[in-house]
Amino acid sequence: MAEEKTEQRIGKAERDIVALGIATAAIIIFVGIGGSVMGDVVEATFGEGKGPDRLLVNAMLLNIALIIFGWRRYRELSSEIQQRRAAEEQARRLSEIDPLTGCLNRRSMAKATEELRNGSNRHGQALAYVMIDLDNFKQVNDMNGHAIGDKLLIELAARLKEKLPKDALLARLGGDEFAFVMPYDGKHPERIDDQVIRLFETATAMYQVDDMAVELTMSIGIATDHDEQGFNPLVSDAQTLMHHADIAMYHAKNQGKNRYYWFEPTMENELRFRNELETGIRRGLSVGEFVPFYEQQIDLESGDLVGFEMLARWQSPQLGLVSPDIFIPIAEDIGVIGDLSEKLMVEAFADARDWDPDLTLSVNISPIQMRDPWFAQKLLKLLVEHNFPAHRLEIEITESCLHDNVGMVRSMIASLRNQGVKVSLDDFGTGYSSLEQLRSLPFDRLKIDRSFISELRNPDASSKIVDAIVSLGNGLDMPITAEGIEDENILDLLKTMGRLKGQGYLYGRPETADQVRMRLKAAGRLVEQPDVVPAAQDSAVESRVDPENLRRIAE
Ligand code: C2E
Ligand code: CA
Ligand code: CA
């Protein structure tokens, strides 16, 4: 569009050159008229003849004026055209550059890659396209403000530029996405690995921006137009190269971020499957395919049922019953975890209303939800709206919540506990919470991760870690729950360690709301709420499980 306009303007200016044409014609006429007028003037000067014709003189003067006018107009026009051309050139240059970092932008990068690719192939070199995407940059922006975010991007671009070789091109493709292309000897792809590792070192070193220390991590995908055999004709253009690098970058993200991968063709299928899962999750959320299951929690000493942990399940029409290990990380990535969690809690509150009021309900809360400063308020509001007593609710958070913003997490825990909600530290032992954090954070309970409990199954395994965690809990005055109790031997061993709560397959697999009702009814622990119509339950849930699908997803 802009180019079209430019063309039109220049075209118009050039048409104005007609003015020059008029001047030229005026000169020719001037020569004609001037010939006879000047002859008359010369004759009159020597007293011969009657002098020049007045009309002709006037015509000649007019001619001179026209010549001067035409000439000046021509000069003005040509300087105007020059200025315009310079401005267009400047605009074109700017349109190729990212204004924030001075790198190439997405559009010019595509063009430059194509050119570099042609050039390097002519010289028998390979070309690597390296896609860089910052991890959780939105969070950095949200927490520190966009001004700091911008400064970080500028500093990052400078660090990358400094470490790249001269023949590499760096671009900012938009937001927190960068890329560079670099020719290399196709037989030595390890040079690209070295380069990328160096970039990781420089880009992830601490940033000091306006008295603020910030750390960044990034995920990187690499694609090349050469394989082990040499030039890869499948990568027929720069576009494909970029696409492959993008896929490899997503793979790095899905594998846990802060790492890099070379593109491999199988990644394309994974990405397709992942996209299908994403769409499926969004759709499933809107049509209510996510349901709560419940796992019993037992007082190990008395063997009494004391409550349930709610565990999310996805009843997908295509995939069968899907495990939360598959869909929770995706729901976190695509930003629907809060919504999903809220929907499940509302259902669980409704289910638990009919239970013996002594039974507690535990729910797992994702670290992403804990980043929301309004989380505690939202949860308390939910409790009020659904008339669920706060003291029956226990939330389980993992140690990874503590890395993000301990101060905020601490105040959130405090306000929830003030209202009577209990807070336990889940999967304890698998993260990195320091003793200092444990001492200063007011948890109501520690849950020993099931990986430590399953160690106890081994007859000659030592119970030292579990022992140590139990005495740590005693020292900090935090009661303990052991997860993943699968057999009587483990149970017996745990019983010797003090008064613990426990849960695991020994007591049964997680069950549907309907199955829980039956269990409680048999135990005389179901309170029929006359004023509440129980939510419609689907008791056929477990029978729809498709083990084949599950295995495929889990792999
Ligand atoms: P978790 O919080 O550690 O939950 C316990 C997991 O251990 C459950 O897996 C449960 O089925 C399994 N389990 C229970 N007893 C045994 C046992 O004796 N042996 C073994 N091997 N496993 C046992 P599940 O339901 O697949 O959940 C996996 C994880 O997904 C949970 O681990 C939790 O971190 C997460 N999750 C589940 N529901 C939600 C949710 O609503 N929100 C969030 N944010 N995370 C959830
Ligand atoms: Ca849990
Ligand atoms: Ca756990």
Inform me whether the pLDDT recorded for 355 exceeds 90: yes
**Amino acid letter for position 397:** I
Would you state the pLDDT for residue 27? 77
Q: Is 307 in the pocket of ligand 1 (CB under 6 A)?
A: no
SS3 523: coil
**Amino acid letter for position 504:** G
H/E run at residue 127: strand 126-134
**What is the per-residue pLDDT across 326-352, written as a single tens digit (0 to 9) for each?**
999 999 989 999 999 999 999 999 999
More confident residue, 278 or 72: 278
Integer Cα distance of 502 and 299 in angstroms: 6
Quote the ligand 3 centre to 448 CA distance (angstroms): 7
Q: Is 426 in the pocket of ligand 1 (CB under 6 A)?
A: yes
On the 0-12 / 13-18 / 19+ scale of CB atoms within 10 A, 392 is: buried
Quote the ligand 2 centre to 137 CA distance (angstroms): 28
Task: List the residue whose alpha carbon is closest to atom 8 of ligand 1.
Answer: 311
**What is the per-residue pLDDT across 284-328, written as a single tens digit (0 to 9) for each?**
999 999 999 999 999 999 999 999 999 999 999 999 999 999 999
Alpha carbon of 434 to those of 86, 251, 399, 429, 431: distances in Å?
A: 62, 31, 10, 10, 9
**What is the per-residue pLDDT across 106-155, written as a single tens digit (0 to 9) for each?**
999 999 999 999 898 888 899 999 999 999 898 888 888 899 999 999 99
What residue has token string 């303007």? Answer: 9
SS3 148: helix
Q: Is 63 in the pocket of ligand 1 (CB under 6 A)?
A: no
Task: List the residue whose alpha carbon is closest to atom 12 of ligand 1.
Answer: 484
Integer Cα distance of 199 and 502 in angstroms: 47
Which range has the top average pLDDT, 56-60, 61-65, 228-232, 502-506?
502-506
Quote the ligand 3 centre to 501 CA distance (angstroms): 14
Q: Is 362 in the pocket of ligand 1 (CB under 6 A)?
A: no
Quote the ligand 1 centre to 324 CA distance (angstroms): 7
**Full DSSP string of 448-495:** E-HHHHHHTTSTT---HHHHHHHHHHHHHT--EEE----SHHHHHHHH
Quote the ligand 3 centre to 407 CA distance (angstroms): 24
Tokens representing 81 are: 């055209």
Quote the ligand 3 centre to 310 CA distance (angstroms): 12
Which of 452, 454, 478 is closest to 467 using CA atoms? 452
Top mutation candidate among 291, 364, 494 for ligand 1, by most atoms within 8 Å of CB: 364
Q: Is the dihedral of CA 370, 376, 378, 382 positive or negative?
A: positive
Quote the ligand 3 centre to 497 CA distance (angstroms): 20
Integer Cα distance of 263 and 193 in angstroms: 13
More confident residue, 432 or 88: 88
More confident residue, 509 or 211: 509
Report yes or no: 296 and 308 within 8 Å, Cβ to Cβ. Answer: yes
Q: What residues pair up with 322 in beta bridges, in sequence order?
A: 314
Number of neighbouring beta carbons within 10 Å of residue 301: 13
C-alpha triplet 382, 384, 386: angle, nearest 5°: 70
Report yes or no: 448 and 425 within 8 Å, Cβ to Cβ. Answer: no
Integer Cα distance of 312 and 210 in angstroms: 43
Q: Is 295 in the pocket of ligand 1 (CB under 6 A)?
A: yes
What would you report as the CA-atom Rg of the chain, rounded to the nearest whole angstrom? 38
Quote the ligand 1 centre to 489 CA distance (angstroms): 22
Inform me whether the pLDDT recorded for 198 exceeds 90: yes
Q: What atom in ligand 1 is closest to the CA of residue 369?
A: 44
Ligand closest to the CA atom of residue 454: 1
Which pTM value belongs to this model? 0.72
Inform me whether the pLDDT recorded for 5 exceeds 70: no
Q: What share of the chain is helix, strand, coil (3-state, %, to 5)?
A: 55, 20, 30
Top mutation candidate among 483, 509, 542, 550 for ligand 1, by most atoms within 8 Å of CB: 483
Tokens representing 479 are: 């009661």
Q: Is 223 in the pocket of ligand 1 (CB under 6 A)?
A: no
On the 0-12 / 13-18 / 19+ scale of CB atoms within 10 A, 58 is: exposed
More confident residue, 441 or 232: 441
Percent above pLDDT 70 for the chain:
90
Strands 501-502 and 290-299: antiparallel
Task: List the residue whose alpha carbon is closest to atom 43 of ligand 1.
Answer: 364
Largest interatomic CA distance in the chain: 144
Would you state the pLDDT for residue 8? 59
Top mutation candidate among 293, 311, 339 for ligand 1, by most atoms within 8 Å of CB: 311
Torsion of CA 253, 145, 202, 228, to 10 degrees: 30
Quote the ligand 2 centre to 229 CA distance (angstroms): 49
Q: Is 221 in the pocket of ligand 1 (CB under 6 A)?
A: no
